[in-house]
Structure 1
Amino acid sequence: MSYTLKKLYHIDKDKYRQEYEKRFCCEDTVHIDFYIGDNQAFVCQSVEILNLIISIERTDKAVNKLYDRLPKKAITQFANRCLIDEIVLSNNIEGVHSTRKELNDILNDLSGNNKRQRFYGLVNKYKMLFSEDNIRIETCRDIRKIYDDIFLDEIKSTDSKNQPDGEIFRKSGVSVYSPTEREIHKGLCPEEKIISAMDSSLELLKNDKLDILIRIALFHYLFGYIHPFYDGNGRTSRFISSYLLSRELNHLIGYRISYTIKEHLNEYYKAFDVCNNPLNKGELTPFVEMFLKIIDISHKQLYYALEKRVNDLERYRLILKKLLPENSSAFNLYFVLVQATLFSNNGITVKELKQHFEISENTMRKMLRDIPKNLLVIDKNDREYHYLMNLSELDSFFHSTEFHKMDSSRNG
């Protein structure tokens, strides 16, 4: 909408009252069984909201077309790369430090050996976004289970007094503060009120008469307003939104939301502040518009990231066809290494390569040794070495006089 009720209040109080009545009573307005302070929550299905939904759905179709052109291995590598970035940034938004290396180590071994590691639950849960496994989100106890699976061990080990102490959620009050220690929001209290409000929010999430993207945006806001836990509310809420989006749009969108929120953090917090303000009288349209913009930007960024990699992959495939007999073992190895370079976080291991090609480790290592040293990059920072293709060297060789002489003799 062009302006918020909160803003209009300071311009013209008579118009403010008229505009509120107009928006609240409009036949396209959705009234929500939830109160923001003393005001019933509502959202206007504005032209901007409808246009954003159309844009998101259009981009999703384009993303799926690119996705279908990619080798399965490249998709898995890119998903893991995005997953790690998503968790790092979601943690970062809340001031929680995590490194890509520690998350990558957990991701490489989800067998249970890493269960004691701090972010095991978070990595394991985000990994589910890319599978067909469904996460139940229907009751308050479902929300608590998600929280326990992701954060409870972390909270116990870092700040045990912030564990939930109520029947399901917290039983005492909690506030949100600005960087300058100004209180900007009080979570609902006591726990009975939290449970009642969460039940209403979950009912809204099930209401299929309302577009699912609007429901996801509204639930994200309401979860933040309720603030059911002492700690971990933001990360829990972002995970739930990521999961719900991954079920509605291409799976990869679930690994992009925190990245885009981080880029637009001021707008994200401002939308919460505006809708929390009593002068906005329960209107949640500004938050829905902001959140749908986040999804729209995120999906477009995903499209551009995939488009560049798809184009680069095809270009290097054509280069390799000039260099090596297509479908030879050397061609296939080079092509997998190119994929790892374009799509993965840090390359591919010998273990992964031998499993992919279904050959012995000795044979795999011999094939790697046969690659010219200037074309092969070896990352030795982990226990297992990771291998990548030196794409700049591959480009240089392709454009070199030596290559063109070799190509002429082959075609002569």
Structure 2
Amino acid sequence: MINKYPSLKGIYYSNPDCYEEELSNRLNNFSTRFSKLKIHPFNVKAKRRIKEKTYEIFYVPTAEIDLLKEQIFYNSKEISKQMTNLPSVANDQLFFNTLIFELQSTNDIEGIRSSKKEIGEAVDNVINKSLQEDKRFEGLVKQYLKLNNGRFNSINKVEEFREIWNELVGDEEKDEMPDGDLFRRAPEEIIDGDKTIHEGDENEKEIINDLQSLLEEMNGHYLPSIEKCFIAHYFYEYIHPFYDGNGRTGRFIACSYLARKLDILTAVSLSSTIAENKDYYYKPFMEMSNVYNHGDATFFITRMMNILLKGQQNILRRINEGLQLLKKAENIIEELNLPAQESEILFLLFQEYIFGSYAPKIPDEGLAKIIGITRYKLNKSLDNLKEQLLIETIKQNPMVHVLSKELRDKVAQLQ
């Protein structure tokens, strides 16, 4: 059994006589890792940073962190293997569905109302290059879709943080545009109810200096990748470089980094898992800035790794449940005793339905390309399937077909 790592703040309040000794032990431990990132603790009662105190963020590589990291990398390999084994349509639909949940969640965390249907339409528009003027969330979708194509945001200059903000949320936050050369000029407080819980960097000069330090940490090689990612995530939110959009840009940057080290689905499920565990996520944020925590990120890293692990477990469960349903769908198709081409069309539509409930539907033109037949042959098969009430038309331009309600109900009964 692994001994739980107590927070320094917890030790200060539960056993104050041991606090200084424990702090010294952690700061001088041979295995302790320092980030080179420095913070001022926050005084909640005074509603201000304690500028007289400066702490370097550090963490202790505990046995729990080691085991969590091992499980995360193992799960990531398993997810990659399962994705490789999925049929192509199921693979794509699973990614799009995960992305839609992720984008709705990153909005929800910030109190921005959005529906899965609305985000699904934005994904469809971006994929089919039918972008709409002033259409919400298309900038957000474009940036996340780049990750699936292996196009990661490489951040080497402070100006690139502003570029990410522009591309990701600039269209949504026209009323909250930064008033400095790149970032906000005025102080910014984070308020929970009627209580100020955090204060970002005081001015643009501080923001730029801290973001430069963050760049050096992100691009340095003195910390392990996952731990570095989560420390960077905390520090970005600590800086709070914009008036709004900090949470969404911060989670996107973390997601982009994780996508380089792990599988894409693990990366693109960070916000949705955070949304399901908000209190679990925010508690270590608050603890990090406590004066008695002294910059110890061990608790924060452990919590973030647990969140990542929960997201992976959800993904593996969804894949497993989807594969079981797909196997049963194959039995349904076999019992229908259809011609091979019509069976193939139904199998594609079952994949779409099982793995992509909110994902964009495949137009008929896309079905023809996947199967490798002409539209004439496809239309003939579609007409036969419609006559048997196995599929139905949901859109005319472009033409889109889905499983009939009867078949959808059959799948629902199998769940």
Q: Is the TM-score greater than 0.5?
A: yes
Whichever residue aligns with residue 294 of structure 1, its letter is I
Q: Give me the whole-angstrom Cα distance separating, in 2, the residues matched to 1:258 and 1:317.
A: 34
Q: Deviations over 1:150-196 (max 9, x none)?
A: 1112111xxx2x21122221111001011x22100000122121111
Aligned to 1:77: 93
* Aligned twin of 2:342: 330
1:367 aligns with 2:381: yes
Structure 1: which amino acid aligns with 2:140?
L
CA deviation after TM superposition for structure 1 residue 136, in Å: 1.5
Name the SS for the 1:237 alignment partner: helix
Aligned to 2:27: 24
- Name the counterpart of 1:167: 181
How far apart, in 2, do the equivalents of 1:350 and 1:3 lie? 58
Q: Which amino acid aligns with 2:349?
A: L
**2:77 is the counterpart of 1:68:** no
Residue in 1 that maps onto 2:271? 258
1:47 aligns with 63
Partner of 1:344: 356
Q: 1:144 aligns with which of 162, 165, 180?
A: 162
For normalisation by structure 2, the TM-score amounts to 0.88
Tell me, yes or no, if the aligned pair for 2:37 and 2:213 is still in contact at 8 Å.
Answer: yes
User: How far off is 1:113 after superposition?
Assistant: 2.8
Root mean square deviation, CA, Å: 2.4
1:106, CA displacement in angstroms?
2.0
Partner of 1:113: 131
User: Please, which of 219, 233, 242 is the counterpart of residue 229 of structure 1?
Assistant: 242
Instruction: Note the alpha carbon deviations across 1:320-367, whole angstroms, 9 max, x for none.
Output: 3454378x1012111111111111135433233233234454543432
Which structure 2 segments of 5+ residues have no match? Answer: 41-53
**Which residue number corresponds to residue 128 of structure 1?**
146
* One-letter amino acid matched to 1:10: Y
Structure 1 residues without counterparts, runs of 5 or longer: 399-412
Instruction: Give per-residue Cα distances to partners, 1:192-247, cap 9 Å, x unaligned.
Output: 21111111122112233322111111111111111111100000011111111122
Closer, same or farther: CA 258–9 of 1 in aligned 2, 3 Å: same
User: SS of the counterpart of 1:34?
Assistant: strand
Report the CA distance shift for 1:27/1:395 in structure 2 as closer, same or farther (over 3 A).
closer
Q: SS state of the match for residue 172, structure 2?
A: helix
Match 2:194 to one of 181, 202, 205: 181
Q: Which moves more between the two structures, 227-236 or 133-142?
A: 133-142
Structure 1 match to 2:370: 356
CA distance in 2, matches of 1:208, 1:320: 53
2:322 maps to what in 1? Answer: 309
SS at 2:37's partner residue?
strand
CA distance in 2, matches of 1:74, 1:300: 19
Partner of 2:257: 244
CA contact (8 A) 1:375 1:391 kept: no
- 1:387 paired with 2:402, answer yes
Alignment of 1:191-202 (within 5 A): 191-202=204-215
Once structures 1 and 2 are overlaid, which stretch shifts more, 146-155 or 129-138? 129-138
How far apart, CA to CA, are the structure 2 residues paired with 1:48 and 1:39?
24
1:12 to 8, 12, 15: 15
